[in-house]
Amino acid sequence: MVHGGFRVWSGSEPDFPRQAEQVRSLLGAPDNPALLPPQFVAAALTGIGGMLITRSRADALVDAAFALPTRDPSVILAVRHAANRPGATRLTLVARDRPGAPDGTLVDLPTDWKAQESVFATDSIAIGEPGSEHAKQARQLQGQIWQSPPDNLYPTWLYAPVCPASMSLVALHGDRVVGFLLGFQSQPDRDGTTVLESQVMGVDPDYRNRGIAVHLKHQQAIMAGMLGIDAIRWTADPLQAGSALLNFGRLGAFSRRFLPDYLPFRNELNRLPASRLRIEWTVAGEDPRTELSQHRLHLRESVVPGTTCPIANDGPMDLQITPGNPLIAIEIPSDWTALQQSDLATARAWRTNLDDLLLRCLGEGPDQYLITNAVIHRGRVFLLAEQATNNLLRLYS
């Protein structure tokens, strides 16, 4: 769409990812730390209602803005970058229906801000909104966990409280950032549901399995609730046991949608096509009084994979079990990251076959399933998929 001399790219153009990548390189990628990372631009930006706005003169790019939704659906945050001048990035709020308009006060990127008051999650770990020093550490921690180059890291300005497009939290041990969580405001759904798109969470390997991720997610849910956000969504690799046990087993989130080969990048955790489950979290699964919690508890207490419900795969092999079972268990590797490092051929077989299985099984149609839980049984990790009956859909609506 061309609008007032600007070109607006909303993502419906088939070669949007390539165009966006070209624009990023004209704006200084991979050496401009203020840019949104390529995996976010390619896979998430337009899905949450963001856009790319370019302005050219005589076929040469003059400047470009990545626009992000804000808490006000009629307003977007335009992150304006001047071509070939990586330091010249400024923020402005503009009307969503006039995305190229030059109005709005331009402000410099926030670089120095204080942390907000934190709440203590445990005796030694506090959770709170980061200061600018914490934001730098969170960016470094992202790089360490995923072994990603700087261009793939989220810019620090997204962690600033003045940024109306994002919501961030860090877990602190003293002044050391040992965990972080970053989400984006999404445009509301057609039915008006307001959504936070949770984009990335990481916990320092030295601090794992102490409940830090659960505390970060709960604090995120509290903040989202205070802002009137109805739902939190994110994507997760179906083969990562840790996140499956956290998302489905502990938090009570569910998935009804599978996105094969979703993310364009490769890194230590993603040596093979990065397929993802769409995760939805209404937080009600945590309240023990709700019908949903009762249902979840009963399922967890009664399930014995292979006895009370069939197992849909034999390791990486899809068993193509006959449809019609109310519940199926899908085994996933106990350590997907290690398997990709030690045996890439077996890892590839897992990815290919589980992609087929999940693509076939997940959804709301007849004989399709929602993933609603994850359990460890005799040292093996299973996703639990329940048939998408009207009653189940009501519980998760």
> Which residues make up the interface to ligand COA (CB under 6 A)?
145, 200-203, 208-214, 236, 240-243, 245-246, 249-250
- Least CB distance from residue 250 to ligand COA, whole Å? 4
- Least CB distance from residue 358 to ligand COA, whole Å? 17
Based on CB atoms, which residue is closest to ligand COA, 123 or 191? 123
Answer positive or negative: Cα dihedral of 219, 225, 229, 232.
Answer: positive
Buried b (16+ CB within 10 A) or exposed e, 205-235: eebeebebbebbbbbbbebbeeeebbbbbbb
- Least CB distance from residue 142 to ligand COA, whole Å? 9
Based on CB atoms, which residue is closest to ligand COA, 6 or 184? 184
Based on CB atoms, which residue is closest to ligand COA, 212 or 370? 212
CB-CB contact of 99 with 53 (8 Å): yes
Based on CB atoms, which residue is closest to ligand COA, 48 or 145? 145
CA-nearest of 274, 262, 260 to 356 is 260
Based on CB atoms, which residue is closest to ligand COA, 73 or 211? 211
Based on CB atoms, which residue is closest to ligand COA, 165 or 263? 263
Q: Which two tokens stand for residue 231?
A: 């739902």
- Least CB distance from residue 149 to ligand COA, whole Å? 17
- Least CB distance from residue 228 to ligand COA, whole Å? 25
- Least CB distance from residue 368 to ligand COA, whole Å? 25
Based on CB atoms, which residue is closest to ligand COA, 76 or 263? 263
Q: Rounded distance, CA 327 to CA 34, Å? A: 46
Q: Rounded distance, CA 215 to CA 382, Å? A: 24
Q: State the alpha helices, DSSP H only, in the chain.
A: 16-26, 38-43, 132-146, 212-226, 241-244, 291-302, 336-342, 344-361, 390-395
Based on CB atoms, which residue is closest to ligand COA, 173 or 210? 210
Based on CB atoms, which residue is closest to ligand COA, 110 or 211? 211
Phi and psi at residue 221, in whole multiples of 5°? -65, -40
CA-nearest of 373, 362, 178 to 278 is 362
Answer positive or negative: Cα dihedral of 35, 37, 41, 42.
Answer: positive
Cα–Cα–Cα angle for 251, 142, 273, nearest 5°? 75
DSSP string, 78-138: EEEEETT-TT-EEEEEEETTSTT---S--EEPP---PPPP-EESSSSEEEE---HHHHHHH
CB-CB contact of 257 with 363 (8 Å): yes
Q: Which two tokens stand for residue 259?
A: 């996105």
The residue number whose beta carbon is nearest to ligand COA equals 242
